[in-house]
Chains A and B, each alone.
Chain A
Amino acid sequence: MEEIKKPGVDLITEKLNRLEGKIDRIYKFFEETDEENLLTVKDLKMYFPVFGGVFSTQVATVKAVDGVSFKVKKGETIGVVGESGCGKTTLGRAIIGLYKPTAGKVIFNGQTGAVDLARLDRGEFKPYRKDIQMIFQDPYASLNPRMSVGEIIREPMDIHNPEMSEREKLDKVKWLLNKCGLREEQSARYPHEFSGGQRQRVGIARALATNPEIIIADEPVSALDVSIQAQVINLMMDLQEEFGLTYIFIAHDLAIVKHISTRIAVMYLGNLVEIGDADEVYNNAKHPYSRALLSAVPQPDPERKDKNRIILEGDVPTPLNKPSGCSFRTRCPIAKSECAAKIPELKDTGNGHMVACPFWKTEF
């Protein structure tokens, strides 16, 4: 059958496309006016397909991050907590562009203007790489064993500051090593000659090499000893004060998160359930999950009895098959029938303390 050609159709499509572009630009303009937030994450979704069967067809989808929105102001530290498998790490990696987000926006408002990082491809992302850096969880895997520490720290400079001379790069490596509590002459050594804490300091120095604005710290201390943890955390706080850094601090240790963060975000099964000022969330949690989580923090007081300990029943549902509506309803002590109907939105309960539970006032 021959297709009947209508000359008008192409014209209309073209005009529609142009209009779409215009709307996009207008939308972008409104986003750009949101000056005070350095990073705005809007409804970020990260789904992973699961392949199986004989022909490797897609059999399921893991909803690792399922619609997360939050804003990060310049100079603050936002601590992301949650149990393992709730999507904290995936969130960090989707923001930094290691994964291409399925949907949503990651608007970075740096010195060069606002840009949606989630929409950029690899080449377009490159100029923004130097503004967002990452500190990794495992200090043993995050440093190339075949490169000396000096080479590791100067690698970001080779990529982003090709105009710097060898001398300048060397001086900066030494300066960074000093800043991170290592000695200058250690730059010729290989990573295996360092302890875990020292390696993590090298990782921090590498992250600082391009003068970033945001550092995403993906459980930077969970692989370290408790005594070393304190050193590394204090180093990070000192550096933040000196360089005006912004941290997104992912961790599962609530005491550390409270120590370093100005705001805390609690995640459960790919969703943000609560976000607010650190003291407010830590002392006055409102979402039933956060209350249960925070009641599990050990108190260094032998006299105190754990009367308020909330013990949740059951296991975390698998992200392959999330419950409908509120994902926490299967374990929630105050769950109602309405909870299954729709996913609750984050609502402000005063002072910017957002809770994703309409029944947070209910006692239990």
Chain B
Amino acid sequence: MENFYTLHYSNCLNKLRKDYLFIFSALTLFFFLALAIFAPLISGVNPIIAKSKDGSLKFPAFNSNPGTENYKWAIYPINPYDENKRDIKCFSSPPGKKHFFGTDQIGRDVFARVIYGTRAIMKVGFYSTFFSMIIGFFIGFIIAWDSIIATVFRLIISIFNTLPPFLLLIIVITLNGRSLENVIIAIVISRWGYVANAIGNWCKYFISMEFVQAAQIMGRKSWQIFIKHLIPNLTEIFLILILVTFSFSILMEVSLSFLGLGIKPPTPSWGTLIAESWDQIISGDGAWWMAFFPCIMLAILFVSLNIFIEKLNFAFNPEKKMLIKK
């Protein structure tokens, strides 16, 4: 077992373990992820766990079509509203005991809508980052070596990069219709070229460095050089690209939903929430809570994402040392 490849990463993990800010931001991101996955457990009309009359345990919150049934006993979520349930007794009510984040003008619970909106954000963020990085990574490695294919790809990338991303998004969504998939496709189309260019150029830079030639002289094979010399050096660049792509796709999703081009209503998204409150804010009704809570969530997500990647970056770079007393 050759340990000189793992040593670098174990050093990095040691650095991360001591970093409280990293742990905090990681927990925050984990919290957002959990919020998206376990939204029905926090807010919903169906019970989390219930005992039906024939004596079996049921989990109706995870069932997409639970139906109406009388249970012997049941534990309900903390907030008894899902994203579309309307409380006809209070329209546009401010945050209070009954509705934590208030309600909108047709009586829907903002807390539930914010939590269910996390799902859209996370889906768009993860899928578009994943596909942009995969495509960008492979094409980046193709263009790192000079060849005719590389020239062709560089040309295609420059064409894609000159297109304004927002315009491209709007065109794709107008042609294909409003849906989450189309938002993801549009983001990947506008983003893969950026990733490929960055990976390709950095790879080219590291290949030209003398330590790669030294490895060739030692008798390392190309794939060994790739794994042992290029990947550790590319890790930071990869992390930065993930951050940029993730932030970009979240921002794009919110902006598109705000413009009314994102996910189809009534599925909630933070951008839709902000857009719905917009009319009320400018007409002076003062329904600030509808825009305030999604914005706060967005800000927390962005800050923790930035800290997370920044700290990872810090850990993977041995030139940066911790200023912590032992």
Contacts and interface: CB of A to CB of B under 8 A. Distances in A.
Interface of A: 56, 96-98, 122, 125-126, 129-130, 132-134, 136-138, 141-148, 150-151, 154-156, 158-160, 166, 190, 192, 203, 206, 210
A145 B228 CA distance: 12
Nearest to B319: A192
A161 to B, nearest CB: 12
Contacts of B323: none
Pairs of residues from A and B, 3 with the lowest C-beta to C-beta distance, nearest first: A151-B4, A129-B219, A146-B232
16 contacts: A97-B217, A129-B217, A129-B218, A129-B219, A136-B214, A142-B210, A146-B8, A146-B318, A148-B4, A148-B318, A151-B8, A155-B215, A155-B218, A158-B2, A159-B218, A203-B214
Contact of B8 (A97, A132, A141, A147): A147
A141 B209 contact: yes
A141 B210 contact: yes
B4 A190 contact: no
Contact of B7 (A134, A151, A156, A210): A151
Contact of A134 (B3, B209, B217, B229): B217
B220 interface: yes
Interface string B189-229: 00000000000000000000111011111111100000011
B151 interface: yes
Contact of B318 (A126, A141, A145, A155): A145
Contacts of A155: 4, 215, 218, 220, 228
A56 B219 contact: no
Contacts of A154: 4
B161 interface: no
Interface residues of B, number: 25
Interface in B282-326: 318-319
A158 B318 contact: no
B211 A133 contact: no
Nearest to B9: A146
Contacts, number: 76
B233 A146 contact: yes
B88 interface: no
A173 B62 CA distance: 59
Contacts of B228: 155
B8 A158 contact: no
B239 to A, nearest CB: 14
Given A129-B219, A190-B319, A158 B4 contact: yes
A186 B210 CA distance: 22
Contacts of B4: 147-148, 150-151, 154-155, 158
A143 B318 CA distance: 13
Nearest to B217: A134
A134 B215 CA distance: 11
B163 interface: no
Contacts of A150: 4
Nearest to A97: B217
Contacts of A136: 210, 213-214
Interface in B122-172: 148, 151
A141 B156 CA distance: 32
A98 B318 CA distance: 29
Given A56-B148, A146-B232, A146-B233, A141 B211 contact: yes
Nearest to A210: B218
Given A151-B4, A192-B318, A192-B319, A144 B233 contact: yes
Given A155-B215, A192-B318, A138 B233 contact: no
A56 B216 CA distance: 28
Contacts of A97: 217
A91 B179 CA distance: 61
Contacts of B3: 166
Nearest to A133: B217
B283 to A, nearest CB: 57
A145 B316 CA distance: 11
Nearest to A160: B219
B216 A98 contact: yes
A134 B148 contact: no
Given A56-B151, A151-B8, A155-B228, 16 more contacts: A125-B219, A134-B217, A138-B210, A141-B209, A142-B210, A148-B4, A148-B8, A148-B318, A155-B4, A159-B218, A159-B219, A159-B220, A160-B218, A160-B219, A192-B318, A192-B319
A144 B228 CA distance: 10
Considering residues B3, B218, B232, which has the most beta carbons from chain A within 10 angstroms of its beta carbon? B218
A160 B211 CA distance: 18
Nearest to B218: A156
Contact of A144 (B7, B219, B229): B229
A130 B219 contact: yes
A98 B319 contact: no
B211 A144 contact: yes
Nearest to B219: A129
B2 A134 contact: no
B221 to A, nearest CB: 8
